[in-house]
């Protein structure tokens, strides 16, 4: 019964709680135990479901024929560059927000639509911070490609979710089912903290990016080992 409990679907949690209590001879009227076990099983099943949802979004390739994808991309530009209009869909202007070439769709290959959704979420919910970080990323000596680094941090957040490293963080943050929103919030934390980390470290050049990315990754993994951890920009 206990082994099966950690694989239970959301709809079956209540029955599963009753079965565990019966098997372990715990009084059904022990509401404290019942509530805590119910929340715990929701968190466990929810983590697995969240990973599948994130993975499904990652598997969707950016499609320039898809109107919705294109609208999200243009919205990203408008949020980050409100003073400057995009002269054409294929344009060198994309480099101004840290894409590699004149068509951002090629940069989304590795992380698919997840990379765009993350960038857009940060720009929408933390517009002031996103513009500040974009501005800092244009630093003459310590500059980096804002959008490319953002997509790189999507990969970091995704891999931490995949290998289970985000369990303590999400279990502490959400009393019940973790949602896509909570994954996006963790991503926002990474973007904000990476920018601070990059400027504190003062790398000699962007050529050392991978080395500093790994150092940052190790730092985050270390923080996530704390069983009381919550890594978020929200109070």
pLDDT tens for 162-211 read 999 999 999 999 998 999 999 999 999 999 999 999 999 999 999 999 99
Q: Which residue has the tokens 């978020």?
A: 232
Residue at 234 is within a domain? no
User: Is residue 87 predicted with pLDDT exceeding 60?
Assistant: yes
Mean pLDDT of 69-78: 98
* pLDDT at residue 20, rounded to an integer: 95
Residue at 34 is within a domain? yes
Residue at 230 is within a domain? no
Residue at 152 is within a domain? yes
Q: How many domains does the chain have?
A: 2
Mean pLDDT of 48-71: 97
The domain of 172 spans 61-225
Residue at 31 is within a domain? yes
* pLDDT at residue 234, rounded to an integer: 67
Q: In the 8-state DSSP scheme, what is residue 12?
A: G
Mean pLDDT of 132-149: 97
Burial (0-12, 13-18, 19+ Cβ within 10 Å), 59? exposed
Tell me, yes or no, whether 33 and 65 share the same domain: no
Question: How far apart (Å, rounded) are the C-alpha atoms in residues 4 and 42?
Answer: 13
User: Is residue 235 predicted with pLDDT exceeding 50?
Assistant: no
Question: pTM here?
Answer: 0.94
Residue at 235 is within a domain? no
Residue at 233 is within a domain? no
Question: How far apart (Å, rounded) are the C-alpha atoms in residues 35 and 106?
Answer: 48
Question: How far apart (Å, rounded) are the C-alpha atoms in residues 161 and 183?
Answer: 8
* pLDDT at residue 10, rounded to an integer: 87
User: Is residue 33 predicted with pLDDT exceeding 80?
Assistant: yes
Residue at 96 is within a domain? yes
User: Is residue 59 predicted with pLDDT exceeding 70?
Assistant: yes
* pLDDT at residue 14, rounded to an integer: 93
Last residue of a domain, one of 36, 59, 82: 59
């Amino acid at each position: 019964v206990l082994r099966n409990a950690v694989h239970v679907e959301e709809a079956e949690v209540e029955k599963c709680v009753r079965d565990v209590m019966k098997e372990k001879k715990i009084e059904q009227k022990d509401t404290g135990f019942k509530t805590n076990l119910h929340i715990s099983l929701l968190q466990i099943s929810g983590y697995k479901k969240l990973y599948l949802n994130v993975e499904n979004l990652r598997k969707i390739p950016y499609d320039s024929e898809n109107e919705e994808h294109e609208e999200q991309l243009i919205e990203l530009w408008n949020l980050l560059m409100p003073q400057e209009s995009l002269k054409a869909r294929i344009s060198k202007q994309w480099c101004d927000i840290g894409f590699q070439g004149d068509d951002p769709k090629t940069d989304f290959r590795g992380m698919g639509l997840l990379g765009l959704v993350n960038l857009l979420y940060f720009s929408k919910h933390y517009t002031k911070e996103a513009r500040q970080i974009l501005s800092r990323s244009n630093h003459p000596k310590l500059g980096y490609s804002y959008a490319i680094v953002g997509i790189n941090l999507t990969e970091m957040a995704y891999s931490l979710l995949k290998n289970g490293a985000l369990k303590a963080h999400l279990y502490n943050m959400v009393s019940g089912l973790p949602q896509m929103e909570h994954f996006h919030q963790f991503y926002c934390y990474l973007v904000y903290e990476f920018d601070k980390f990059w400027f504190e470290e003062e790398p000699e050049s962007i050529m050392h990016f991978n080395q500093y990315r790994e150092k940052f990754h190790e730092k985050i993994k270390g923080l996530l080992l704390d069983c009381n951890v919550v890594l978020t920009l929200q109070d």
